Amino acid sequence: MTTFGKILAFLTLLMSGALGFMALSLHALSTQRNEELRVARKTFEANQANVVAYLKEKEGFAQERSNLERDRTDLKTKMEKMEFIQKNAAEEVPKLQSLLRLTADKVQVLTAEKIQLLAEKKNLETMGKSSVMEKNSEKNSKEIAEKDSVTRSGELEKVRMDLEEAIKSRQEMFNDRTKMFELKTQAEIQVIALKNRSGDMEKEIKRLTLENKRIKDSGGSDKTVTTAGGKRNPPGTPLEGKVLRADASGLVQISLGSDFGLERGHTLELFRLSPPKYIGVVKVIEVNSKDAVAQPVGALNDRPLAGDSVASQIK
């Protein structure tokens, strides 16, 4: 190695040592600064906490002072009231003493009047013994007559109440018989109407059965049948449900949905149980899980109503 190289190496080593020393110095300064900052922050937080505590304590002192001032004012007001009451009591004492003397005088007067009244009463009792006996006999006779009158009045009132109760019971029996007769008449009319409607429904069912048999014999499918009522496509499984809502156009919402196996395009028989009536065929156009919407297929025999029944087929 040449002399220049040695000098260069020495300078490099010297520079490295200087840089290391500077780095250590900077690290020591940074550590010391951070420690000072930490101590200063703790001191600041402690001072801030002391200030907050002082403010709270000052606020508490102010509140306590306010309470003491209010108590002092209340005590002063009470003392003024007590002095006023004491002054009034001192003024009332002479009046009460005067009233007491007047009361004592009145007691003496009343006592004398009482003695006089007792003497008069004794004289009256002595004089009225004979007349009292006569009055007692008259009084006894009058009491007997009054008791007899009260007894007869009670008996008459009881008879009147029994008569009113009998009239009321008879009227209720007459009203019940009238209602029973009306109900019987209505029931007979309903029975006749049900028989007529049941006969019409049986005729319609027989007609549909014969029509289905004729179409099956001619090679038609069990699921798709064409009749005068329109094209039928009943579900594969027997279903029965109710009409939930119906509008003027004939659309009905029924209580059957996809959960029951119902699908779009299925047809259902629409009929009424009370009174019995076959209405026609409806076709499912929208299906939900629990309900569905159907529209009439062809002309219906009557307008659908909520509460009507639907079924995959009429047995």
Is 1 domain-assigned?
A: no
Beta-carbon contacts of residue 131 (< 8 Å; ≥ 6 apart): none
Mean pLDDT, rounded, for 284-290 = 95
Q: Number of folded domains in the chain?
A: 3
Is 164 domain-assigned?
A: yes
Q: Which tens digit of pLDDT belongs to each residue from 15-61?
A: 888 888 888 888 888 888 889 889 888 888 888 888 888 788 888 87
Q: Is the pLDDT of residue 132 over 60?
A: no
**116 in the same domain as 136:** no
Q: How large is the C-alpha radius of gyration of the chain?
A: 58
pLDDT score recorded for residue 68 = 78
Is 208 domain-assigned?
A: no
Q: Write out the two tokens for 33.
A: 């600064």
Report how far apart the first and last C-alpha atoms of the chain are (Å, whole number): 121
pLDDT score recorded for residue 125 = 73
Question: Predicted confidence band at 147 (pLDDT cuts at 50, 70, 90)?
Answer: confident
Is 295 domain-assigned?
A: yes
DSSP 193-221: HHHHHHHHHHHHHHHHHHHHHHHHHTT--
**To the nearest whole number, what is the mean pLDDT of the chain?**
78
Q: Is the pLDDT of residue 242 over 90?
A: yes
Domain that holds residue 62: 36-127
For the chain, the maximum distance between any two Cα atoms, rounded to a whole number of angstroms, is 176
The domain boundary, picked from 110, 127, 144, lies at 127
pLDDT score recorded for residue 227 = 40
**99 in the same domain as 60:** yes
**123 in the same domain as 40:** yes
CB 305, CB 246: distance < 8 Å: yes
Q: Which tens digit of pLDDT belongs to each residue from 107-125?
A: 677 778 778 878 877 777 7
Mean pLDDT, rounded, for 295-306 = 92
Beta-carbon contacts of residue 191 (< 8 Å; ≥ 6 apart): none
Pairing mode, if any, of strands 309-311 and 267-273? antiparallel
Q: Is the pLDDT of residue 151 over 90?
A: no
Give 307's DSSP letter: T
Q: Is the pLDDT of residue 281 over 80?
A: yes
The domain boundary, picked from 127, 146, 181, lies at 127
**55 in the same domain as 85:** yes
The candidate with the shortest Cα–Cα distance to 238, out of 127, 313, 136, is 313
Is 116 domain-assigned?
A: yes
Is 165 domain-assigned?
A: yes
Question: Can you count the helices (H) and strands (E) in the chain?
Answer: 2, 8
Q: Cα–Cα distance between 251 and 283 in angstroms, integer?
A: 10
59 vs 63, 64, 69, 73, CA distance in Å? 6, 9, 15, 21
Question: Residue 198 half-sphere exposure, CB side, CA atoms within 13 Å?
Answer: 7
**233 in the same domain as 282:** yes
Q: Which tens digit of pLDDT belongs to each residue from 63-110?
A: 888 887 888 888 788 888 877 877 776 777 677 677 767 777 776 777
**122 in the same domain as 40:** yes
**256 in the same domain as 178:** no
> What is the value of pTM for the model shown?
0.31
**185 in the same domain as 262:** no
pLDDT score recorded for residue 221 = 43
The domain boundary, picked from 95, 127, 159, lies at 127
**144 in the same domain as 118:** no
More confident residue, 80 or 245: 245
Containing 60, the helix (H) or strand (E) segment is helix 3-127
Q: Cα–Cα distance between 43 and 20 in angstroms, integer?
A: 34
The candidate with the shortest Cα–Cα distance to 230, out of 315, 313, 299, is 299
Beta-carbon contacts of residue 228 (< 8 Å; ≥ 6 apart): 211, 298
Is 252 domain-assigned?
A: yes
Q: Which tens digit of pLDDT belongs to each residue from 166-222?
A: 777 777 876 776 677 666 655 655 555 555 555 555 655 566 666 656 655 665 444
pLDDT score recorded for residue 90 = 72
Is 147 domain-assigned?
A: yes
Q: Domain of 247: which CATH number?
A: 2.40.10.340
**109 in the same domain as 77:** yes
**109 in the same domain as 152:** no
**146 in the same domain as 88:** no
Question: Predicted confidence band at 139 (pLDDT cuts at 50, 70, 90)?
Answer: low
260 vs 172, 246, 272, 278, CA distance in Å? 53, 21, 21, 23
